[in-house]
Structure 1
Amino acid sequence: MKHTFTKFHEKSMEDRKAAVFAFSQLNEEAKSLYCNSEYDQLSDQLVENAIGVMEIPLGVAVNFVINDIERVIPMATEESSVIAAASHGAKLARSLGGFHAQVDGSYMFSQIHIVHVQDPYAAKVKILHHRDELIGLANQEDPILQQLGGGAYDITVRAQEDPSSLVVHLHVDTLDAMGANAANTMAEKIAPRIEEITSGEARLKIISNLADRRIVRVYCEVQHEQLGGADVVDRIVQACDIAKRDPYRAATHNKGIMNGIIPIVLATGNDTRAVEAGLMHMLVKVSTTHH
């Protein structure tokens, strides 16, 4: 039976809009919100079933000094007060030298999950014996990344709870890139060879977004008086302690943290979902470790 959206992806953007308008029974005022944009053609190339572009306000947070360098921070968000709060916080930190940041590096894992392995521990030894071969094979997929100083550089293997499976981690230095494309193609490249080595079958061959080797650590100092005195500072500390104990408070506490993170990720054209997913599982990892 045909319906309004039969072969919807094959329609032009204008025809898709017309189909959506008819289906939703939008009035003329609502339709006018979907006016044509100069980026319609680009959006049609980037996503499926595109009907337009949703614009997000772009602002800049100021007053930031990071590692003794003045910075202007781009932030894309629809929520008021976020950029103002970031700028105010930076102004408070500025008086005592600003922010001091360190980064572990730009290291990501590409995972190859192997199943139907008769002896996982013997298979692990075999894989590590072929370590250099596998790394060289992976780097064939992105020679430019290697020329720039990045690329695959190590392999680790972990046994799983399932006694007939294991997971291979290909360590990749992705430099300034998020690295999904490079890490994924490298995993797909070496998976058949790992199958030969282990006599197992490769299932997942994909990047992990738990970027626990790519952590940025930042600290600053703020005087009590700048925050309203010792009593206000104590209340802030108490609020943090409550969030550690109460998951309902923690969710909103973390939402406030993400208010500052996601606008920067979005403004710089990076993957907001990857950052959110990695943070979520990092919190689970920390919670499990502490309990």
Structure 2
Amino acid sequence: MTSPKFYQLSKSERLARLVEANQLSEKDAQFLAQSQPLADELADSMIENYIGQYHLPLGIVQDVMVAGKVYQVPMAIEEPSVIAAANNAAKMMRLNGGVTIESGQRVMFGEVVLTDLPQLADAVKWVDNHFAILQTVAQKAHPSIVKRGGGLQKITTTIVENRFLKLNLEIDTKAAMGANIVNTICEAIAHAVQATLGGTILLSVLTNAAFGSVVKASVTLNPETLATATLTGDAVAQRLIDATQFAQLDVARAATHNKGIMNGIDAVIMATGNDWRAIEAGAHSYAARTGHYQPLTDWSWTSDHQLRGQIAVPLPVGIVGGSIGILPTVQVAQRLMVIETAEELAGVIAAIGLGQNLAALKALVSDGIQKGHMALQAKSLAIAVGATASELTTLLPQLLKAPHLNTETATTLLSQIRAENR
């Protein structure tokens, strides 16, 4: 008899299977089984005006192959179809050798902006000629990052509208996302420049246009992998390419194209304790960097008639610092992934984004986005109106056949089922 698939198991059975596969420790499995909220003292120390906790389901994308290594990837999300789609994509990509990663030096950018400088050109020359002095200021402002091999790497000056002096700081934040590191160094540099040149400090802060942390991921697929019951793999692949090219021409489509990518990226960002708002800002600013909002992925034919997909997205993530070190579920997620560096985590997240796009586009250009989505939505709706586990077996098929999938329909059908079982 064939053993049930992972998604068909109960929560306790899934945890047991992960432990059996040495992908999760007994201790971490017990923690997840208990679903304990944060201690009030800890939660109260993290935010202002604490009144309670808001919970999201934590799921897993299995066997995501990135740079030859297989990962179990956690996702925190409320949307029913995202994890199912990601698992489908992970399988397709794994069957084709997995995802390859390309990333350069990982740095964060900070901006120092001064106004009221009478001689902007002279100010630019002074900054350009005194980098060593300013680097020393940065090192004294945040010595711990220097000890870890990071810190201020470069300053680029720009005059904006003959009014603002902008200093763009490139800072290596090592294993941390580094917002506090960058902000501390920016403020120190701002005061040092002002002390010599005068003027007014307008702002000194990191930018979430994290173009120094762009990660590129790619996958090459045999089009046969994409075949459906009604379409050949070649047909699906060509439609997928066409849909991407349309997104390059139509901003309305590009926005939804990228939102689907961020479904997967944000869910992993949440699970790993990183700042999803910063990642969203960076991704969308990168998509608009040319002045015309573009999709973050590109799909095309290779010379040997394979389908090649690529994504480029800023991912300034960390594995230390901030809430990462104090949230116990985040620490479990890190151990589950077996991640050793921030760069490695960024590569896995980029692969998830690429896979999410693959799954969404394949569904969109073949069976339609609603077919798989609504099956999962029906289950959520049934549970929301109070259906028990035993009632779901009868209710779900009826819901999916109903002309309208809504609360009224679900409530009516559930009442009929209960009346018949009395």
Shorter chain as normaliser: what TM range? 0.7 to 0.9
Distance in 1 (CA, whole Å) between partners of 2:38 and 2:58 is 18
Post-superposition CA distance 1:223-260 (Å, at most 9, x none): 11110111111111121122222222222111101011
SS in 2 for 1:220: strand
- TM-score norm. by structure 1 comes to 0.83
- Contact map agreement 2:254 2:293 (CA 8 A) in 1: no
Instruction: Say whether residues 1:234 and 2:234 are aligned partners.
Output: no
Offset at 1:190? 1.7
The aligned residue for residue 207 of structure 1 is 206
Alignment of 1:1-291 (within 5 A): 37-161=37-161, 163-228=162-227, 229-288=233-292
Give CA-to-partner distance per residue, 1:31-69, whole Å, 9 cap, x none: xxxxx9553332221112221101111111112111111
Structure 2 unaligned runs (5+)?
1-35, 228-232, 295-422
Preserved CA contact (<8 Å) 1:112 1:205: yes
Q: Please, what TM-score do these two structures have when normalized by structure 2?
A: 0.58
Cα 1:195/1:289, change in 2 over 3 Å: farther
Q: Is the 8 A contact 2:251 2:293 kept in 1?
A: no
CA distance in 2, matches of 1:40, 1:242: 49
Deviations 1:246-279 (CA, angstroms, capped at 9, x unpaired): 2222221111010111011111100011011111
- Give yes or no for contact 2:137–2:192 (8 Å, CA) kept in 1: no
Identical amino acids, percent of aligned pairs? 35
User: Contact between 2:287 and 2:293, CA under 8 Å: does it hold in 1?
Assistant: no
Task: Check the 8 A contact 2:113/2:201 in 1, yes or no.
Answer: yes
Which residue does 1:6 correspond to in 2? none
Letter in 2 for 1:103: S
- Give the 3 Å change call, closer, same or farther, for CA 289–73 of structure 1 in structure 2: closer
The code of the aligned residue for 1:194 comes to V
- Structure 1 unaligned regions, length at least 5: 1-35
Q: Which amino acid aligns with 1:96?
A: N
Q: Number of aligned pairs?
A: 254
Single out whichever of 141-150 and 259-268 deviates more from structure 2: 141-150
Secondary structure (helix, strand or coil) at the match of 2:42 reads: helix
Superposition deviation, residue 217 in structure 1: 0.4
TM-superposed CA distance for 1:196, in Å, is 2.6
Q: For residues 191 and 43 of structure 1, what CA distance do their matches in structure 2 show? A: 34
| Post-superposition offset of 1:197 | 2.9
Measure, in 1, the Cα distance between the counterparts of 2:38 and 2:176: 28
Contact (CA 8 Å) 2:64, 2:91: kept in 1 or not? yes
Q: Distance in 2 between matches of 1:38 and 1:249?
A: 40
Structure 1 residues 65 and 239 mapped into 2: Cα distance closer, same or farther (>3 Å)? same
